[in-house]
């Protein structure tokens, strides 16, 4: 008896084992599959979906029976990676991975580690599915190997065909199909568009700045995930913002509830740095000078204080070319996450008084989830709290806007943690900063990248922002405040000496992010009459804003963005029952 006999037996079983593994792999997605089938109903579309599904399954089988081992292993790795991406996104967000979402995910790929910490269990399941797929394809096919390179030609054709289909459908329609193919097809579209893109430099600054009226710093402070009504300046049940009290030498002009550009960080941030109106923001982001270029042309030193990333990592769609326009690029990697916003306030306060005319843009840590550990326990006035100790080193998870909480009770605790975070990192920030503003001649604009849906109306599950179909205005409703040192010189144009409080009273609850860029240009000395045609009116202009934000900022593949209107009166009220009933309880 030789050893060849059992081995032959094993090789006879291999094709069956591979097919069983593939079938097992496909069951991981039964929920999405069933949902898609149910949503299509008995229709021609269902027939088309069935054909597409079968073709993609055959492509997986083809890959599994490729003859050369290296080809099989490369295919297995690519398909497993695609599977991990799709499941990682869809299972944590509950939203389909359409092309816009794919672009956003690629843009925020630096946050994968944070996502792992937040969504560990879900991503582990996605990893397990990918492993099953890898094994199904990589194992040797025995005697059933495909000839003529069919093993790789069939899956490659499947990716190309799906890419074409998704392109024609604006990046949508892959929901419920075998998971690995959609990210690979989206990646192929992205690579194709990138290759076709003209690599031309941005336009130079075309306006001539007059000498600015004040010589104090011009500052934009971008907070993170701040729901307008959770601050005391916008609602009696809001928490301490540090902006409500009178302080000598400083004016805080509250524009009330404003509309963000988008309900996701990267889009809002990009347009805050490049400007543009709802009609021109994409052209501005593509072709026009950055705020850094305008500030430099106006003789300012450009300063970026980023509390969210470390070690020079770029975020919010900033490119290395843009980063080179920044004179002082500051990140706070050495400071614990909990202390970063306060450290920002200290550094910013010093810069306001350093005698250098600067333009400063600040990305705060703010209140992006996870937030259970974003404040010290001793500073937790609002209880009960969610479990602590799991997310202390995490600033945010931009890539995977997943569940903040699941049940109504978890959401209640989440909102309490959110209140404590705001008190600590926004209230604390301004308490440290505002005494330093007096006498500096500076003008600071304060807003947040987007708002939050904190599920006040009850109902379990669901993300806080970045969803493709927001259920209300909360995700786009942000605070907008101008903080100015009183005093300042005479002359044309806005400065610290402008009557900001009167302007804010007139334009309350009627402004948006789109008004910030032209206002910064005016503060830098650019005449608003010249910048208005492309960048729109400033915060000082009487024109009311439509108060809309977009959930599909990228609006790629020839589509136009959708705009959601915010009705300030209809925004959710922070429920005081979250903490009032149990606030006196000793057990918490
Ligand atoms: Zn954000």
**Which of 467, 452, 460 has its CA nearest to residue 417?**
452
Helices 69-93 and 99-107, axial angle in degrees (round to 10) = 100
Largest CA distance in the chain: 104
Q: Is the pLDDT of residue 404 over 70?
A: no
**Which of 399, 348, 345 has its CA nearest to residue 111?**
399
Backbone conformation region of residue 290, classed left if phi is above 0, alpha if psi is from -120 to 50, else beta: beta
d(CA 82, CA 213): 55
Mean pLDDT, the chain, integer: 87
Distance 105 CA to ligand 1 centre (A): 14
pLDDT category at 389 given cuts 50, 70, 90 is confident
Q: Is the pLDDT of residue 400 over 60?
A: no
Distance 235 CA to ligand 1 centre (A): 22
- pLDDT attached to residue 531: 97
- pLDDT attached to residue 104: 72
**HEC letters along 292-335:** HHHHHHCCCEEEEEECCCCCCCCCCCCCHHHHCCCCEEEECCCC
Q: How far is CA 30 from the centre of its chain?
A: 29
d(CA 185, CA 443): 47
- pLDDT attached to residue 35: 84
> Environment class of residue 566 by beta-carbon count within 10 Å: exposed (0-12), middle (13-18) or buried (19+)?
buried
pLDDT category at 169 given cuts 50, 70, 90 is confident
Residue 45, both tokens: 């579309």
* 175-184 mean pLDDT: 91
Q: Is the pLDDT of residue 290 over 70?
A: yes
Backbone torsions φ then ψ of 511, nearest 5 degrees: -125, 175
- Percent pLDDT > 90 in the chain is 60
Distance 17 CA to ligand 1 centre (A): 46
Distance 270 CA to ligand 1 centre (A): 12
Residue with tokens 């980063």: 323
Q: Is the pLDDT of residue 76 over 90?
A: yes
- pLDDT attached to residue 78: 95
pLDDT category at 325 given cuts 50, 70, 90 is very high
* 476-497 mean pLDDT: 83
pLDDT category at 392 given cuts 50, 70, 90 is low
- pLDDT attached to residue 490: 52
- Lowest average pLDDT, out of 33-47, 393-407, 416-430, goes to 393-407
pLDDT category at 399 given cuts 50, 70, 90 is very low
Q: H-helix or E-strand containing 210?
A: none
- pLDDT attached to residue 489: 54
The per-residue pLDDT for range 43-57, each reduced to its tens digit, is 888 898 999 999 999
Residue 273, both tokens: 């740095």
Distance 107 CA to ligand 1 centre (A): 13
SS3 label, residue 482 = strand
- pLDDT attached to residue 449: 96
Backbone torsions φ then ψ of 398, nearest 5 degrees: -75, -30
* 133-149 mean pLDDT: 86
Residue with tokens 């770029």: 314
pLDDT category at 472 given cuts 50, 70, 90 is confident
Distance 465 CA to ligand 1 centre (A): 8
The per-residue pLDDT for range 105-131, each reduced to its tens digit, is 776 665 566 666 667 778 889 999 999
**Which of 163, 136, 159, 126 has its CA nearest to residue 72?**
136
- pLDDT attached to residue 584: 46
Distance 265 CA to ligand 1 centre (A): 4
d(CA 119, CA 391): 11
Q: Does the pTM of the predicted model rise above 0.85?
A: no
Q: Is the pLDDT of residue 540 over 70?
A: yes
Distance 321 CA to ligand 1 centre (A): 23
- Lowest average pLDDT, out of 393-402, 484-493, 529-538, goes to 393-402
Residue 209, both tokens: 């700045």
- The DSSP bridge partners found for residue 548 are 565
pLDDT category at 259 given cuts 50, 70, 90 is very high
**HEC letters along 136-168:** HHHCCCHHHCECCCHHHHHHHHHHHHHHHHHHH
Distance 175 CA to ligand 1 centre (A): 26
Distance 14 CA to ligand 1 centre (A): 49
Distance 317 CA to ligand 1 centre (A): 13
DSSP character string of 159-204? HHHHHHHHHHTTT---TTS-TTHHHHHHHHHHHHHHHHS---PPPP
d(CA 284, CA 276): 6
- The DSSP bridge partners found for residue 463 are 403
* 211-216 mean pLDDT: 78
Q: Is the pLDDT of residue 473 over 70?
A: yes
- pLDDT attached to residue 6: 56
Residue 358, both tokens: 């600067």
Nearby residues of 560 by Cβ (< 8 Å), 6 or more positions away: none
Distance 387 CA to ligand 1 centre (A): 23
Distance 367 CA to ligand 1 centre (A): 8
d(CA 151, CA 69): 11
- pLDDT attached to residue 83: 95
Distance 115 CA to ligand 1 centre (A): 14
Distance 30 CA to ligand 1 centre (A): 32
**Which of 303, 540, 348 has its CA nearest to residue 442?**
348
Report which DSSP code applies to 93. H
**Which of 350, 307, 314 has its CA nearest to residue 330?**
307
- pLDDT attached to residue 488: 58
Of the spans 56-70, 140-154, 341-355, which averages the highest pLDDT?
A: 341-355
d(CA 223, CA 433): 14
With b meaning 16 or more CB within 10 Å and e meaning fewer, what string describes 60-88?
A: bbbbbbbbeeeebebbbebbbbbbbbbbb
- Strands (DSSP E) contained in 486-546 are 511-512
More confidently predicted of 173 and 251:
251
- pLDDT attached to residue 292: 98
């Amino acid at each position: 008896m030789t050893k060849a006999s059992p081995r032959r037996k094993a090789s006879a079983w291999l094709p069956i084992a591979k097919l069983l593994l593939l079938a097992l792999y496909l069951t991981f997605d039964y929920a999405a599959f069933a949902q898609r089938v149910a949503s299509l109903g008995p229709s021609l579309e269902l027939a088309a979906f069935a054909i597409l599904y079968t073709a993609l399954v055959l492509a997986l089988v083809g890959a599994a029976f490729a003859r050369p081992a290296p080809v099989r292993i490369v295919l297995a790795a690519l398909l497993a990676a695609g599977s991990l991406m799709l499941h990682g996104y869809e299972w944590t967000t509950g939203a389909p991975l359409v092309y816009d979402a794919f672009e956003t995910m690629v843009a925020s790929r630096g946050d994968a580690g944070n996502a792992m910490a937040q969504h560990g269990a879900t991503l582990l399941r996605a990893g397990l599915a990918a492993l099953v797929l890898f094994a199904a394809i990589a194992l040797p096919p025995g005697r059933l190997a495909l000839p003529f390179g069919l093993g790789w030609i069939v899956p490659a054709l499947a990716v190309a065909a799906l890419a074409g289909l998704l392109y024609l459908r604006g990046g949508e329609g892959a929901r419920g199909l075998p998971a690995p193919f959609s990210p690979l097809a989206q990646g192929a579209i992205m690579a194709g568009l990138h290759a076709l893109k003209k690599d031309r430099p941005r336009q130079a600054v075309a306006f001539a700045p007059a000498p600015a009226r004040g010589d104090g710093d011009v500052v934009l402070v971008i907070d993170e995930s701040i729901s307008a009504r959770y601050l005391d300046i916008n609602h009696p049940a809001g928490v301490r913002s540090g902006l409500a009290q009178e302080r000598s030498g400083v004016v805080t002009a509250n524009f009330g509830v404003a509309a963000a550009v988008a309900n996701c960080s990267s889009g809002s941030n990009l347009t805050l740095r490049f400007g543009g109106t709802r009609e021109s923001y994409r052209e501005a982001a593509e072709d026009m000078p950055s705020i850094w270029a305008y500030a430099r042309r106006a003789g300012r030193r450009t300063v970026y204080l980023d509390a969210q990333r470390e070690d020079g990592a770029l975020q919010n769609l900033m490119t290395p070319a843009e980063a080179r326009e920044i004179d002082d690029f500051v990140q706070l990697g050495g400071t614990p996450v909990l202390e970063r916003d306060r450290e920002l306030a200290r550094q910013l306060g010093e810069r306001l008084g350093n005698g250098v005319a600067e333009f400063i843009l600040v990305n705060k840590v703010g209140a992006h989830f996870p937030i259970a550990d974003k404040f010290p326990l001793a500073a937790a006035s609002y209880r009960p709290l969610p479990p602590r100790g799991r997310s202390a080193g995490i600033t945010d998870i931009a890539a995977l806007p997943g569940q903040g909480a699941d049940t109504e009770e978890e959401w209640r605790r989440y909102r309490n943690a959110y209140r404590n975070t705001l008190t600590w990192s926004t209230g604390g920030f301004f308490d440290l900063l505002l005494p330093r503003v007096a006498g500096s001649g500076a003008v600071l604009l304060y807003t947040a990248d987007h708002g939050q849906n904190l599920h006040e109306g009850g109902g379990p599950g669901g993300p806080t922002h970045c969803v493709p179909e927001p259920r209300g205005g909360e995700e786009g409703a942000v605070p907008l405040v101008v903080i100015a040192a009183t005093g300042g010189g005479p002359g044309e144009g806005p400065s610290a000496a402008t009557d900001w409080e009167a302007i804010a009273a007139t334009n309350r609850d009627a402004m948006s992010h789109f008004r910030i860029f032209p206002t910064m240009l005016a503060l830098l000395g650019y005449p608003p009459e010249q910048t208005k045609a492309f960048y729109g009116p400033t915060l000082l202009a009487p024109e009311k804003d439509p108060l809309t934000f977009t959930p599909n900022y990228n609006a790629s593949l020839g589509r136009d963005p959708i705009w959601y209107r915010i009705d300030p009166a209809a925004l959710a009220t922070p429920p005081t029952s979250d903490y009032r009933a149990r606030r006196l309880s000793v057990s918490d």
